[in-house]
């Protein structure tokens, strides 16, 4: 076998679907965790400076955000390891499928582990659909505030009195209690908030974090298809059940 034929054979055993899914998963999780962590910190700063001057009013929210930030560290670590494991499993199952009728035989242990990865990937895919939906909530909230500021800047706004009647009440989103002070910001004060660096950065970081969550969902869908296909081929065409060759 020449060098070219050897390279073609090696490239034929690469699980391209799992490789693409791994790159997409790492990118999506990195964007979601990194941008989400910084955006949450910016959100707390905005609340403390403008919407809830009393610390006790948003103490629970601060604790929840801090807990979510720690959870983000765990999510990043878990998916880094899980992506590597799924990529390795993809190499194993692809090699088993390519050489199924040769010397390499799949085993009951290998099929069992592949089936476990299929189930776990489906569970994580459903869970990340929820994460993707949850990450869209702060984007919706910041968009409403930004669009209100655009209305204030609009030339159609009639005078100072009309501007001061345009308000945003952050309490309606349920993230701070109704007795929080001031809770509602109107007019030029609201426009000043939209012009702050914390608001601008947090808004765009939440958008990127939401996009990262969506990319992770797509990566898990690709993992589902790849692992399900490989498991099905191994299940119906395997000929040995010995665990010693795994």
Residue 65 class from Cβ within 10 Å (0-12 exposed, 13-18 middle, 19+ buried)? middle
* Both structure tokens of 20: 């693409």
Per-residue model confidence (pLDDT) at position 187: 84
Q: Residue 57, CB half-sphere, CA atoms under 13 Å: how many?
A: 21
Find where tokens 């999506």 sit: 28
Is a pLDDT exceeding 90 seen at residue 211?
Answer: yes
Residue-wise pLDDT for 132-156, tens only, equals 999 999 999 999 999 988 888 875 6
Per-residue model confidence (pLDDT) at position 199: 92
pTM of the predicted structure, to 2 decimals = 0.83
Per-residue model confidence (pLDDT) at position 165: 83
Between strands 184-186 and 167-169, the pairing is: antiparallel
Per-residue model confidence (pLDDT) at position 92: 72
Residue-wise pLDDT for 219-241, tens only, equals 999 988 888 877 777 776 665 44
Per-residue model confidence (pLDDT) at position 34: 92
Q: Output DSSP code: residue 167.
A: E
Helices (H) and strands (E) in the chain, counts: 7, 2
Phi-psi region of 174 (alpha: psi -120 to 50; beta: other; left: phi over 0): left
**Percentage of the chain surpassing pLDDT 90?**
30
Give the chain's radius of gyration (CA, Å): 25
Confidence band for 8, pLDDT divided at 50, 70 and 90: low
* Both structure tokens of 76: 């990043």
Residue-wise pLDDT for 50-78, tens only, equals 888 888 777 888 888 889 889 988 998 89
Q: Which uninterrupted H or E stretch holds 101?
A: none
Q: Output DSSP code: residue 51.
A: I
Residue among 145, 33, 44, 141 nearest 79 (CA): 33
Find where tokens 């947090």 sit: 202
Is residue 43 within 8 Å of 138, Cβ to Cβ? yes
- Averaged over 196-207, what is the pLDDT? 92
- Averaged over 17-21, what is the pLDDT? 86
Per-residue model confidence (pLDDT) at position 88: 82
Residue-wise pLDDT for 181-193, tens only, equals 888 888 888 888 9
Is residue 30 within 8 Å of 80, Cβ to Cβ? no
Kindly give the interhelix angle for 16-46 and 108-153, rounded to the nearest 10 degrees: 40
The average confidence (pLDDT) of the chain is 81
Cβ neighbours, 10 Å, residue 156: 6
The ranges assigned to domains in the chain are: 18-75+123-237
């Amino acid at each position: 076998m020449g060098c070219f034929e050897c390279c073609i054979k090696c490239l034929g055993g690469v699980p391209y679907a799992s490789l693409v899914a791994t790159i997409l998963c790492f990118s999506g999780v990195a964007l979601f965790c990194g941008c989400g962590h910084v955006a949450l910190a910016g959100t707390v700063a905005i609340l403390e400076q403008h919407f809830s001057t009393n610390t006790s009013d948003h103490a629970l929210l601060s604790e929840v955000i801090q807990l979510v930030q720690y959870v983000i560290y765990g999510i990043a670590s878990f998916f880094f390891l899980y992506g590597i494991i799924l990529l390795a499993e993809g190499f194993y199952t692809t090699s088993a499928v390519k050489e199924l009728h040769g010397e390499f035989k799949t085993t009951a242990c290998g099929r069992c582990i592949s089936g476990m990865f299929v189930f776990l990937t489906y569970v994580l895919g459903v869970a990340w659909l929820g994460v993707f939906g949850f990450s869209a909530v702060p984007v919706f909230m910041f968009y409403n505030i930004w669009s209100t500021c655009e209305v204030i800047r609009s030339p159609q706004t009639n005078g100072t009195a009309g501007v001061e009647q345009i308000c945003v009440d952050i309490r309606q989103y349920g993230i701070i209690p109704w007795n929080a002070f001031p809770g509602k910001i109107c007019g030029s004060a609201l426009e000043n908030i939209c012009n702050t660096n914390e608001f601008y950065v947090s808004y765009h970081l939440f958008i990127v974090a939401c996009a990262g969550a969506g990319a992770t969902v797509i990566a898990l869908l690709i993992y589902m298809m790849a692992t399900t296909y490989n498991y099905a081929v191994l299940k119906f065409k395997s000929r040995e059940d010995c665990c010693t060759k795994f």
